[in-house]
Structure 1
Amino acid sequence: MILDELKQYKPYSISPGYHSEHILYGEKLTLDYIDGTTYTYEYETAKAIMGLVHSQYNNDQVYLFTHEHSLLFQIIHNNQKEAYLEYSLQDQRFIIASAYEKSDSLYRLLLVAINYIYNQYQTETFQDIYENWRHIDMSQHHHANEWDANHYKYVLNIAKRLIQILKDILQLQDCFLSLHYDSVEELLNHLHMTFNTQSLTPVFLFQEDLQHLLLDLQSKQQIYQSLSSSSYTILDVTPLYSTQERMKLPLFLQESIKDNERLYMQNRHFLDQNDFDLIKSFQRGKTWSCLYYGPSGTGKTTKLLCVAGALGLPSLKMVGSRSIDESTLFGKYVLRNGETVFEYGPLSLMMKYGGMFIFDEINMVDSDIISSLNDVLDGTKQKILDNGEIIHAHPLFRFGESMNIGYAGTNEMNLSHKSRIQNKIKISQLPIDKMSHIIVKETGIDDTTATKMASLLDAFHNVIINEGNETTQRIDLRTLLNWANKTVDLDGDVIRASLVTIISELAEEDDEILNLEDARQILATNGPAASVMSLIVHEFVE
């Protein structure tokens, strides 16, 4: 958890039970009624109730940062940061960082966080709080007024539960940090973490946008069950070519079939529901074109090769660039042994013999080249070549393309081309456990080191966004694989291995870095390379 990091730097700030009476109950006041309400003032519950009923629509914002298996919440009241609350999804515990004992905003933060957690994860511990809150019409209370007897029962029930939760947090060892907020801000800046820009309070405190609230849990669970994907079976290789047909293919295509089948068998456990659905569709043949899109290093091209391997298909791949023209794809006349002959391009070869043509990073090519694919991707699946030949696609011809979204040098795909692609599959950043499994499998490094490497990828990306250049610098799963392989080569020296794999990606444009031999020299510079080096040292050096 993020706030656990603070205990390494500021252990004196860990304060179990610190001023718990003030934090829980506030000061004893001589009030008959709580301001803005008809509720009788009672010392044991007054501060919690005031924390709930004194919330104001324009003055309270709660922001969220999702980090691995924890959720970090921050409350800002009247433009002042007042508290942080982190919740572990694994062991279901809270950590609070707060310095204002008298502030009642901690109760608002707790309520918003608990409503969010229950809404998103259905944690049964918080169901009663959520259900009581649902019975309050918050639209009447945007300005912390008009709290009459109609809602008192629900407010009191919530207040008592929040007091108990907060009391448990305060009494647990290591779960309450009494410190100033610059300590938390310093840590977040060090880890290059930023909160979401949208506040949670409109939905999870004031109940706006009701269609996104879990108002009927049982009904919603039934809907989820009806929409849930059916379990899928990991498929064996099902060759579409007969043995005789396969033997008639050129030798290099026969070899590519073996490579694709081997790749599929090695990686099929990493495929997901969409991949196996595509394999089934490609097997039937009515669907024969697809697009994988998403961040770099998420396995888009590997998935396409695996689809080909699952069906026993050969493949040819072309990587998109500005230098590609129509003749590169379909063929051209060349001089060979004193004679001018026509040489088929990779796309026309796949159309002729059948198999998977893979156009990698297709949005790197010029738009007129994309337009030249229209005839191939139409229902006729044919192309007139420069030698006058009309080539009709083989029944087992399949077309797959991949692209990274939003990177330097990419083009917006035109709608005409998009409409011709039958299946479009989005791939997001792989989860840490999946990345670590791939790193272990591909490099032979130990699982603990692989997991640490994978867990740093988001932080690396944040450094590049905040300090580097997204158009020229990139660290992705491929970079992590290079790092892991170099670590194995260097007998486990993770730091040295990072210099020529991870740091080298960021040091090219940094004049302060003279060489990549000494991590200490890199740490002494200013820039993204130093920040990433600091993250690596912090993670791997005891």
Structure 2
Amino acid sequence: MTKWTDFLKEEGISQEIIKDIELFNETHRSKDVYKSRIPDPKYLYYGKDTWEKALCSILAGENILLAGPKATGKNVLAQNLAAVFERPIWDVSFHINVDASWLIGTDTYDGEKVVFRQGPILKCALNGGFGVLDEINMARNEALAVLHSVLDFRRVLDVPGYERTSLDDATRFIATMNYGYAGTRDLNEALCSRFAVIDMPVISDDDLKRLIMREFPDIRKDICDQFTYLYKEIEKKAESAQITERALDLRGLLDAISLMRKGIKSGPAISMCIVNKTFDSYERKLVQDVVDARIPADLDRKVIFA
């Protein structure tokens, strides 16, 4: 497991903030039954400024909205925050079928009697969890209306036919929002005002290198540099609208390196995890040209890893 205090110090987070986190964790102990929900993230988020904004917002009792384009680490940061604050996490991925009863809960028959089945928002509220509201700008208005009293100063949840529920002091909600995805829309002013909004920056060259080196400690530095430059060149082409964002896939880059470690050569690995995610033939050719200019197709793990 990651030693979060050491990691935050490496990121340059002040000792005062770290002490406040430790006090929060001492004051708000998670129930043993939900400790399995406390994440142990596979990836770490890098970026001092964003870390400081998110940590201080959580400590101040705010809910946060992580907004930005693809591949900026929104879900990675949400998982990291839950781990740092040692909170159980409830994930809600919004889509057209998510409604109020799915979020709060509903009456159901257990074979003997009618019982109330708690939804993820109610469970999170009662147990001091961190609720990750993924792709919140894809949610239906009915579903979003349920969240208003949960997210503002009232911090309560009215369950029709049941008691009014107050949120546990440790409960926080972290929403994520991508720009420009099909089916998304702008959040209304009332909902947006209930969040501290963090505009997620693209990962820097240095932080990307750190991420790759941490995930693959035995990778050769010069090869790591080439993978970083490859990703950044794809990013530039996406920003200038020469290609879509399909090929801008940080997870895909890390997956490709994992395949190389298992024995697949660089060309096929990058094709599987990056190039082939673009289905337009002309665009795929542009991406392939960027790859060919940076990474020889026949590199094997003996060359890539020390």
Aligned mate of 1:309, from 83, 87, 91: 83
Which amino acid in structure 1 is aligned with residue 61 of structure 2? T
Residue equivalent to 2:288: 533
Selected match of 2:55 from 262, 279, 288 = 279
Displacement of 1:474 in angstroms is 4.5
Which has the bigger relative contact order, CA under 8 A and spacing at least 6?
A: 2
Alignment of 1:354-365 (within 5 A): 354-365=128-139
User: TM-score scaled by structure 2?
Assistant: 0.81
Compute the TM-score of the two structures, normalised by the length of structure 1: 0.48
Post-superposition offset of 1:271:
4.0
Counterpart secondary structure, 1:527: helix
Separation (CA, whole Å) in 1 of partners of 2:204 and 2:127: 38
Matches of 2:113 and 2:253, distance apart in 1: 48
User: Is this contact kept in 2: 1:297–1:476, CA < 8 A?
Assistant: yes
- Of residues 464, 476, 499 in structure 1, which corresponds to 2:249? 476
The one-letter amino acid of 2:88's match is P
Query: 2:44 maps to which residue?
Result: 267
* Conservation of the 8 A alpha-carbon contact between 1:239 and 1:313: no
- Quote how far apart the aligned CAs of 1:536 are: 0.9
Deviations 1:263-299 (A, max 9, x none): 49x737x24134234324433xx43311111122221
Partners of 1:506 and 1:274 in 2: how far apart? 30
Do the aligned residues in 2 keep the contact of 1:490 with 1:497 (CA within 8 Å)?
A: no
1: distance between equivalents of 2:86 and 2:23? 4
Structural mapping, 1:192-341, within 5 Å: 232-233=13-14, 235=18, 238=22, 240=24, 242=26, 245-246=29-30, 249=31, 251=33, 253-257=34-38, 259=39, 262-263=40-41, 267=44, 270-283=46-59, 286-341=60-115
1:490–1:468 CA distance, 2 compared to 1 (3 A): same
Which residue, 432, 437, 455 being the options, matches 2:210? 437
Quote the residue 1:521 is aligned against: none
The one-character-per-residue Cα deviations of 1:71-95 (angstroms, maximum 9, x if unpaired) are: xxxxxxxxxxxxxxxxxxxxxxxxx
**Larger Rg, first or second structure (1 or 2):** 1
Residues of 2 paired with 1:342 and 1:250: CA distance? 23
Question: CA offset at residue 378 of structure 1?
Answer: 2.0
- RMSD after superposition: 2.8
Counterpart pick for 1:490 among 256, 263, 284: 263
**Which contiguous aligned blocks of 4+ residues in structure 1 show a shift greater than 4 angstroms?**
241-245, 461-470
Aligned counterpart, 2:3: none
Letter of the aligned partner of 1:406 in structure 2? G
SS in 2 for 1:434: helix
Partner Cα separation in structure 1 for residue 275 and residue 247 of structure 2: 11
Cα deviation, 1:245-272, whole Å, max 9, x if unaligned, reads 53xx252x21223x3xx449x737x241
Amino acid at match of 1:537: D
Q: Which moved more, 1:347-356 or 1:364-373?
A: 364-373
1:393 counterpart = 2:167: yes
* Matched residue SS, 2:187: coil
Q: What's the offset of the Cα at 1:370?
A: 1.9
TM-superposed CA distance for 1:461, in Å, is 4.3
Measured after TM superposition, the shift of residue 350 of structure 1 is 1.2
Instruction: Supply the AA of the counterpart residue of 1:529.
Output: R
- Unmatched tracts of structure 2, length 5 or more: 1-11, 298-306
> How much does 1:430 deviate?
0.7
Equivalent position amino acid for 2:146 in 1 = S
Q: Is the 8 A contact 2:131 2:173 kept in 1?
A: yes
Calculate percent identity across the aligned residue pairs. Answer: 21
What SS is found at the alignment partner of 1:282? helix
Separation (CA, whole Å) in 2 of partners of 1:233 and 1:313:
21
Aligned counterpart, 1:7? none
Q: In the aligned structure 1, how far is the partner of 2:79 from the partner of 2:23?
A: 14
What residue is the counterpart of 2:120 in the other structure? 346
Give the unaligned 5+ runs of structure 1. 1-230, 511-525
Taking the TM superposition and a 5 Å limit, the aligned residue runs for 1:404-483 are 404-421=178-195, 423-444=196-217, 445-461=219-235, 466=241, 468-469=243-244, 473-483=246-256
CA distance in 2, matches of 1:387, 1:540: 62
1:338 deviates by 4.0
